[in-house]
Amino acid sequence: MNTEENLKSMLATTGEWLFIGLAAMVVARLVLTLTTTVSLVGVAMVAVGALAYLAGFRAGSGGAR
């Protein structure tokens, strides 16, 4: 009985550590993906803004082509 309880608590602890490790990996992966996505979106926004600025600058007072 006592050995069985010890085994169960040990298994529960191992399971918790596995879950914590898995959760940490998932969170780290999500954070990495989000930061990559955010930086890509930021670069894309800057590029679009620069293109729009150049297009507007070229068009001048003539408006959009």
The model's pLDDT over 13-23, given as tens digits with 9 standing for 90+, comes to 888 888 888 99
> For residues 29, 30, 31 and 37, what is the CA-based torsion angle, rounded to 10 degrees?
110
Tens of pLDDT along 26-43?
999 998 888 888 888 889
Q: For the chain, what is the domain count?
A: 1
Does any domain span residue 33? yes
Distance separating alpha carbons of residues 37 and 3, to the nearest angstrom:
50
Q: Is the pLDDT confidence value at 59 over 80? A: no
pLDDT tops 60 at residue 65: no
Domain extent, residue 43, equals 25-65
Residues 6+ apart with CB under 8 A from 59: 65
In a domain, 17, yes or no: no
